[in-house]
């Protein structure tokens, strides 16, 4: 991000002893469980260590339960009851989902019980809420159907913004490069 210092140090400085919140989302991306970028966990440790001298800055770490349960480092973070409070997201009840849908202008009665059940998971409801109004009027029998629709709409939106792209060529080249290097990070010369 070409920041002059660590986000933690900068936030502590900008907050000037006032309450502040640093959000580290998708901590599971550095988990040993899913194997994506586990070496980058050291950067998270560094940020947390830098904030020891800034008690006004709270940290919100967001990770999947499966990663917390299967990565000793993440489990240890959660186990530190003196510094950590764990908030688990649960599935919403159907009436909560119906209320969110109604408030956003979507008729929950037109979606069917299977779609409503899929949307009880907060992430799925969030993805659904990003769909076009016509896509929010459709029923989805599976999570895959919902995500395919979401992906298609995002791709179409990007194509409108940057003209038509050769998605197969781009993703094919990218996948071949990642397979060759066995890494998800930027290519190094």
**Residue 64 within any structural domain of the chain:** yes
pLDDT at 109: 93
**Residue 88 within any structural domain of the chain:** no
**Residue 120 within any structural domain of the chain:** yes
Q: Which residues pair with 22 in a beta bridge?
A: 59
The separation between CA 49 and the C-alpha centre of its own chain, rounded to angstroms, equals: 23
**In the predicted model, is pLDDT for residue 185 greater than 60?**
no
**Domain shared by 98 and 75, yes or no:** no
Overall domain count for the chain: 2
> Which of 22, 54, 79 is the last residue before a domain boundary?
79
pLDDT at 182: 75
How many Cβ atoms from other residues are within 10 Å of residue 115's Cβ? 21
Tokens 């499966």 correspond to what residue? 66
The pLDDT confidence band at residue 144, using thresholds 50, 70 and 90, is very high
What pLDDT digit, counting tens, does each position of 65-85 carry? 888 999 898 899 888 888 888
Q: Which residues pair with 57 in a beta bridge?
A: 20
Tokens 């070409």 correspond to what residue? 2
Report CA torsion sign: 142, 68, 3, 183.
Answer: negative
User: How is residue 188 written in tokens?
Assistant: 């190094």
**Residue 84 within any structural domain of the chain:** no
**In the predicted model, is pLDDT for residue 184 greater than 80?**
no
**In the predicted model, is pLDDT for residue 53 greater than 80?**
yes
**Residue 113 within any structural domain of the chain:** yes
**In the predicted model, is pLDDT for residue 43 greater than 60?**
yes
Torsion angle defined by CA atoms of residues 172, 176, 178 and 181, in that order, rounded to the nearest 10 degrees:
-160
* Residue span of the structural domain in which 12 resides: 7-79
**Domain shared by 104 and 40, yes or no:** no
**Residue 171 within any structural domain of the chain:** no
């Amino acid at each position: 991000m070409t920041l002059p210092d660590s986000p933690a140090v900068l936030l502590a400085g900008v907050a000037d002893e006032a309450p502040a919140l640093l959000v580290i989302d998708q901590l599971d991306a550095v988990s040993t469980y899913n194997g994506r970028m586990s070496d980058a966990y050291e950067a998270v440790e560094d940020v947390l260590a830098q904030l020891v001298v800034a008690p006004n800055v709270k940290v919100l770490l967001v990770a999947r339960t499966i990663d917390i349960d299967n990565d000793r480092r993440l489990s240890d973070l959660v186990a530190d009851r003196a510094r950590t409070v764990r908030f688990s997201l649960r599935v919403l009840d159907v009436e909560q989902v119906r209320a969110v849908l109604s408030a956003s202008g979507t008729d929950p009665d037109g979606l069917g019980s299977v779609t409503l059940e899929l949307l009880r998971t907060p992430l799925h409801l969030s993805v659904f809420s990003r769909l076009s109004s016509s896509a929010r009027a459709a029923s989805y029998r599976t999570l895959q159907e919902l995500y395919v629709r979401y992906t298609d709409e995002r791709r179409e939106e990007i194509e409108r913004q940057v003209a038509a792209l050769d998605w197969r060529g781009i993703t094919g080249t990218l996948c071949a490069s990642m397979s060759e290097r066995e890494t998800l990070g930027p290519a190094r010369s």
